[in-house]
């Protein structure tokens, strides 16, 4: 049987983890972080490699939030 909804407390705790998502929203918009050519990496100027690296930041954060807020029901 599906459990009746008896978890207001855990849900509010898991809700707080959503604030982590602010990090990958704000960081890629901070132009001063990436608007330069040095240092180069594999031939890429910083402007390009660092912005591509922000993809990893976004993936990592959303994965962490996913694992912390997973519904815990049967998967698939």
Partner 1 sequence: MKDHLAEIIIASTIFVIVSVMGFLAARWRRPDNMAHLNEWGLGGRSFGSWITWFLVGGDLYTAYTFVAVPALLFASGAGGFFAVPYTVIVYPMVFVVLLRLWSVSHRHGFVTPADFVRARSGSSTMALLVAITGIVATMPYIALQLVGIESVLKSMHVNPTWALIIAFAILAAYTYQSGLRAPALIAFVKDALIYLVIIVAVIYIPYKLGGWHKVFDAADTKFAKTNGTILNSANEWQYVTVAFGSALALFLYPHSVTGVLASRSRDTIKRNMSALPAYSLLLGLIALLGYMAIAAKTKPITDSAGKADNNTIVPQLFDQMFPHWFAGVAFAAVAIGALVPAAIMAIAAANLFTRNIYKEYIRKDASHAEEATVSKVASLVVKIGAVLVILLISPQFSIDLQLIGGVIILQTLPAVAVALYTNWLHRWGLVAGWIAGMGTGLWMLWYVPNAATKHAHFGGSNFALSHLFDPTSIGLNKATTVYAGFLAVVANLVVAIIVTLICKAASAPDGVDITRPDDYTADAGDAAPPAPPHQLAGDELPEPVPTA
List residues binding partner 1 (CB under 8 A). 2, 4-5, 8, 11-12, 15, 18-19, 21-25, 28-29, 31, 35-37, 40, 42-45, 47-48, 51-52, 54-55, 57-59, 61-63, 65-66, 69-71, 73, 75-76
Tally the C-alpha atoms within 13 A of residue 26's C-alpha that lie toward its C-beta.
5
Q: Tell me the two tokens of residue 21.
A: 């998502």
The distance of closest approach from Cβ of residue 26 to partner 1 in the complex, given in angstroms and rounded to an integer, is 8
Coil vs helix vs strand at 13? helix
Cα distance between residue 23 and residue 33, in whole Å: 14
The distance of closest approach from Cβ of residue 55 to partner 1 in the complex, given in angstroms and rounded to an integer, is 5
């Amino acid at each position: 049987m599906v459990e009746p909804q008896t978890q207001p407390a855990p849900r509010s705790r898991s809700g707080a983890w959503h604030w982590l998502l602010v990090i990958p929203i704000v960081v890629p918009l901070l132009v001063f972080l990436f608007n330069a050519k040095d240092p180069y990496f594999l031939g890429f100027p910083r402007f390009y490699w660092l912005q591509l690296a922000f993809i990893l930041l976004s993936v990592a954060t959303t994965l962490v939030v996913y694992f912390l807020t997973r519904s815990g029901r049967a998967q698939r």
